[in-house]
Structure 1
């Protein structure tokens, strides 16, 4: 446990690897909502996504003897879940990778939304996001909504860090071109939009 007395994900994972299924159960409870929200952006079928999350954690139990300690448990869970979800979607012929766009709606704080100008900005940004590629939207979601680092995003998207930076730069540049405003303002808008 850390100084605050709260068990951290790394400690939960370490306990699981040592045979304590309670560690994995705690990780399940900690990350279920985030994994569900991420998976639902690939497939808007709640039961399918929930089953995929269950399958992921069952797979961890069945392969515990082969698992190691990742540098970031959250990053590992997201990457593993994405791979499993896409495999399940392909197996059921629901889609091939990236056939269905990665979708999400921007959230914005209610206090900010009360202002008419902020509402217009939010709608404009949402329309601009719809013009990006699925991969660009996913990168922006992971960076600004889930707060993953570029290194972690590169792992989840199975890209090199350089390709991840390029992908994000192209997404920001595309938004800038659509908005016809500076990149710094786009970044500020994205960060504001993801505060909820």
Structure 2
């Protein structure tokens, strides 16, 4: 698995992919696969389904390489495309309308294994407590927190992935933080999320 690409390197590879370079698309896939897989598992916890959807997304991207436009943030775009594809597949799989499934998926927050290997018990306790508090939030708020802090997306990118306006994304973020403040001391939350 390749390391994550820097923004400019991603954009250059995207341009090469659009020009018909399949190796560029392969590099994008290899560098973004881990993030896409984590994202997909948060949306729907069936590994094989998520893996299949990621492959289908990249196959479709290759088919569209001559007609697809430029994107500002490749990772944000891929997260949005994967979510749309998964929801469409789930809709087909369960013969439901897309509108009835958009806000009906489950989204769980779970920190990666490297965070679980923290040796100090106090830090482990704080991360587990934060995980529990985050999982008390409504689905859309958990999704937004995940995109903002785990995927480091801007509010514009989050709005695109979640199909919201920028102001709506910001308002939902503020609502999420207010909910967290009720369940967690503000200073502890700020130190964990922002490293203050």
- Classify the TM-score, shorter chain: 0.7 to 0.9
Q: Partners of 1:168 and 1:151 in 2: how far apart?
A: 12
> Does 25-34 or 99-108 show the bigger shift?
99-108
Q: From 166, 180, 185, give the equivalent of 1:161.
A: 166
| Greater than 6 Å deviation, 4+ residue runs | none
Question: What residue number does 1:9 align with?
Answer: 10
Instruction: Give the alignment of 1:37-186 within 5 angstroms.
Output: 37-93=38-94, 96-107=101-112, 109=115, 113-179=118-184, 181-182=185-186, 185-186=188-189
Q: Partners of 1:186 and 1:144 in 2: how far apart?
A: 13
TM-score (norm 2): 0.85
Q: Partners of 1:93 and 1:190 in 2: how far apart?
A: 37
Q: Partners of 1:118 and 1:43 in 2: how far apart?
A: 29
8 Å Cα contact 2:109-2:135 kept in structure 1: no
State the number of aligned residues: 183
TM-score (norm 1): 0.85
Q: Partners of 1:123 and 1:20 in 2: how far apart?
A: 44
* Shift in Å, 1:94: 8.3
* Shift in Å, 1:28: 0.8
Could you tell me which runs of 5 or more consecutive residues in structure 1 were left unpaired when the two chains were aligned: 1-6
Q: Partners of 1:72 and 1:122 in 2: how far apart?
A: 29
8 Å Cα contact 1:150-1:164 kept in structure 2: yes
Give the superposed CA RMSD: 2.0
Q: 1:167 and 1:35, CA in 2 relative to 1: closer, same or farther beyond 3 A? A: same
> Does 159-168 or 86-95 show the bigger shift?
86-95
Q: Partners of 1:110 and 1:55 in 2: how far apart?
A: 32
Question: What residue number does 2:28 align with?
Answer: 27
* Shift in Å, 1:47: 0.9
CA displacement 1:38-57 (0-9 Å, x = unmatched):
00111111111011011101
